[in-house]
Structure 1
Amino acid sequence: MKTNSSSESVDGCTVNDQMVPFTVLYGFIFLTGLIGSLLALWAFVRSRNAKKCMNVYLINLLISDFLLTLALPFKIAVDLEVAPWRLKIFHCQVSAVLIYISMYASIIFLAFVSADRYLQITQSSRLYRIQEVGFARMMSAVVWTLVLFVMVPNMAIPIKDIPEKELVTCAEFKQKLGLHWHMLTNFLCMAIFLNASAAVLVSNGFVLKRLWGSRGGSEQERASSRQATRNIAVVTLAYMVCFVPYHGVRTPYVLTQNQIITSCPVKRHLFLAKESTILLAVMHLCFDPILYFYLSHSFRQRVTEAFKPRGNTYTLAQGPMQAEQLLAEGGIQVQDSGELAVQNS
């Protein structure tokens, strides 16, 4: 049975009455991310060369993307104010937590991807063991254990039974123990983010420095170095845009949930800031397939083969002059046997 004060929260301050415009962007992110994730799943399943350290981290990043994809429809339904009461409870207990599980798993795996790329470039024999597939699988299991240990109690801690109303925030369902654990989760997640960000920035910084120092040589080598520099710079910028703004407002917003900040205008502004920045964080769902394409050779090969025009294939000897001419014409395909093949469209 609904109460008369259906648009007011417990303390009389409504913060979530402007959510409908966000749902349009969430819907676009959901559709784009779903298509990209399904394409990535297809490419990795069909790949014959998936047993690489980098691919292990990318596949786990893909798993976190699917968790986010599963959770977004519930958030969209709640924000559109079309969800029944039980679905709102489910969102606060399960699907909203899945969004954060996905976010922090993605942040950690992006840090591992950056570190692994740096190790591949340095090719240090002293660090060879941490580039083995077994180590990558072990670290992936540790990551999921850590993230689930931090987040699952937010699902498991019992909630309060409150009267039904149209607009409700997840904090209103939490008992004191739930609010305290939520506060602790905030500080643990902030520590995860800061450490992962340091790994991303340091690793990519060293890679950029190394690429900048190797800009000599032939014109082809310089062009390849410039392309790699742009790719790494774009990935780093996308990471910063997606995740830094949210963590700038996360702690102040949690203080409003625990009634440490009680001003209603401040609560409203912090809630809208949190929703705006978490929208940026969710956008990594659209960027990750681009990351797969640039960092996974097997993924790039499968996608390229799938969208390449079909035609007759002629095998040629690997002569230097022939190779340069054919590459310039844009008709080369490298076969598994190591031979060069020309694709006639």
Structure 2
Amino acid sequence: MASSSNSSCVVNDHMEPFAAVYIIIFLVGMAGGLVSLWAFIRGRATKKCMNVYLMNLLTSDFLLMLALPVKIAKDLGVDSVSLTIFQCQCSGVLIYINMYASIIFLAFVSINRYLQITQSSRMLHLQEPRFAAVMSAVVWLLVLFINVPNMAIPIQKELPDALFTCSDLKTQLGQHWHLLSVLLGMAIFLNASAVLLLSNGLVLKQLWGRRHAEPNLRASARQATISIATVTGAYVLCFVPYHAIRMPYTFTQTKIIDDCELRHSLFLAKESTLLLAILHLCFDPVLYFYLSSSVRLKVTGVFSSKRSRTGDKQEMAPATALERKLEAEP
């Protein structure tokens, strides 16, 4: 049952601007996701470790696309008790399943790229598609274990007169598990971020060392540096702000912070940073293009078909040869 302070403190009003941005993200992400899916299928993506992680990342993106229409409807002001319950119990949880699955798979992608560059025989088994499939299954089991109870734990039998936030619906057990899932999510984020930043830093070190040893690879090393820096920057932009505000906002849900003005400010901060986190839906198709040769060749093949086929072959041959020489080249 909602407290009196909750009933007099509205924190989630005027959400229409968020809905407008979410619509754009949904349309761009859906277009990019469908093109990537088509390229993976039609390009007959080889069973490589990298492709396994990327296809799981794409699967996670489609889960997020299923959840966004409900959030958009709520932010547009659709006043429905059943829609609010569905968002809190189902679609809202899908957003967090996607977020933490994506964070882990991005960390695996970074590790795999480092292993490709080093070409260490001792780590060869870590690059096998079977190992990647097993690790992907472990990731899904982990994120589902953390988040599915937020779906399954029943809500209060007596609903508050006005539904403001999802925390107003949760029972005491639901609030405790929600807090636990937030803490576990923070642990995933911190560990995955350390792995991603370390792996990308080591990749850059290897590439620039190779650049001095093999002068003909300078252009490739420069291009790889730009692409890795872009991916790292996008990761920081999308996920760091949200996790910086996540714990203070959680204190408002657990009633540790009860000041209405502060709760409202933290709610807006959480929604703004959550929007940044969901923005990765637009960045991921670029990642598929750079990291999967089958996707890249299929997409570029569509555009190059409008040009002379002879000219295309001459242009693509050097890039293909370079790709074979630098397996980790984005």
TM-score, L = length of structure 1: 0.87
Q: Distance in 2 between matches of 1:164 and 1:74?
A: 21
Q: Which moved more, 1:170-179 or 1:303-312?
A: 303-312
Contact 1:57 1:113 in 2 (8 A): yes
1:115-264 map, 5 Å: 115-160=111-156, 161-163=158-160, 165=162, 168-216=164-212, 220-264=216-260
Q: Distance in 1 between matches of 2:129 and 2:305?
A: 34
Look up the SS of the partner of 1:128 in the other structure.
Answer: helix
Identity of aligned residues (%): 60
Distance 1:312 1:231, change over 3 A: closer
CA apart distance, 1:218 = 6.4
Corresponding position of 2:108? 112
Q: Which runs of 5+ in 1 are unaligned?
A: 1-7, 315-325, 339-345
Considering only CA atoms, is the larger Rg found in Structure 1 or Structure 2?
1
- Within the candidate set 283, 291, 298, 1:287 is matched to 283
Corresponding position of 1:77? 73
Paired amino acid for 2:291: L
Q: Which moved more, 1:127-136 or 1:74-83?
A: 74-83
Distance 1:56 1:9, change over 3 A: farther
Corresponding position of 2:325? none
Paired amino acid for 1:13: C
Paired amino acid for 1:162: L
- Within the candidate set 284, 293, 304, 1:308 is matched to 304
Q: Distance in 1 between matches of 2:307 and 2:270?
A: 52
Corresponding position of 2:324? none
The question of 1:38 aligning with 2:34 is answered yes
- Residue deviations 1:66-115, cap 9 Å, x none? 00111000000011112522111101100000000000000000000000
Paired amino acid for 1:50: T
Distance 1:14 1:216, change over 3 A: same
Q: Distance in 2 between matches of 1:48 and 1:126?
A: 29
Q: Which moved more, 1:137-146 or 1:305-314?
A: 305-314
Q: Distance in 1 between matches of 2:277 and 2:175?
A: 23
Corresponding position of 1:342? none
Look up the SS of the partner of 2:6 in the other structure.
Answer: coil
The Cα RMSD (Å) is 2.0
Corresponding position of 1:47? 43
Q: Which runs of 5+ in 2 are unaligned?
A: 322-330
Contact 1:159 1:175 in 2 (8 A): yes
Which aligned runs of 4 or more in structure 1 are off by greater than 3 angstroms?
8-11, 217-220, 309-314
CA apart distance, 1:162 = 1.0
Look up the SS of the partner of 1:112 in the other structure.
Answer: helix
- Residue deviations 1:13-34, cap 9 Å, x none? 1100121111111110000000
Paired amino acid for 2:77: E
Contact 1:85 1:164 in 2 (8 A): no
- Within the candidate set 332, 336, 339, 2:315 is matched to 332
CA apart distance, 1:312 = 5.6
Number of positions where the alignment pairs a residue of Structure 1 with one of Structure 2: 316
Distance 1:144 1:9, change over 3 A: farther
Q: Distance in 1 between matches of 2:307 and 2:278?
A: 40
Look up the SS of the partner of 2:211 in the other structure.
Answer: coil
Contact 1:242 1:280 in 2 (8 A): yes
Paired amino acid for 1:253: Y
Structure number with higher relative contact order (C-alpha < 8 Å, ≥ 6 residues apart): 2
Q: Distance in 1 between matches of 2:218 and 2:41?
A: 34
Corresponding position of 1:62? 58
- Residue deviations 1:268-290, cap 9 Å, x none? 11100000000000000000000
Contact 2:197 2:232 in 1 (8 A): yes
Contact 2:160 2:168 in 1 (8 A): no
Q: Which moved more, 1:156-165 or 1:265-274?
A: 156-165
CA apart distance, 1:212 = 2.1
Q: Distance in 1 between matches of 2:94 and 2:308?
A: 48
Paired amino acid for 2:195: A
Distance 1:294 1:331, change over 3 A: same
CA apart distance, 1:10 = 3.2
TM-score, L = length of structure 2: 0.91
Q: Distance in 2 between matches of 1:186 and 1:21?
A: 26
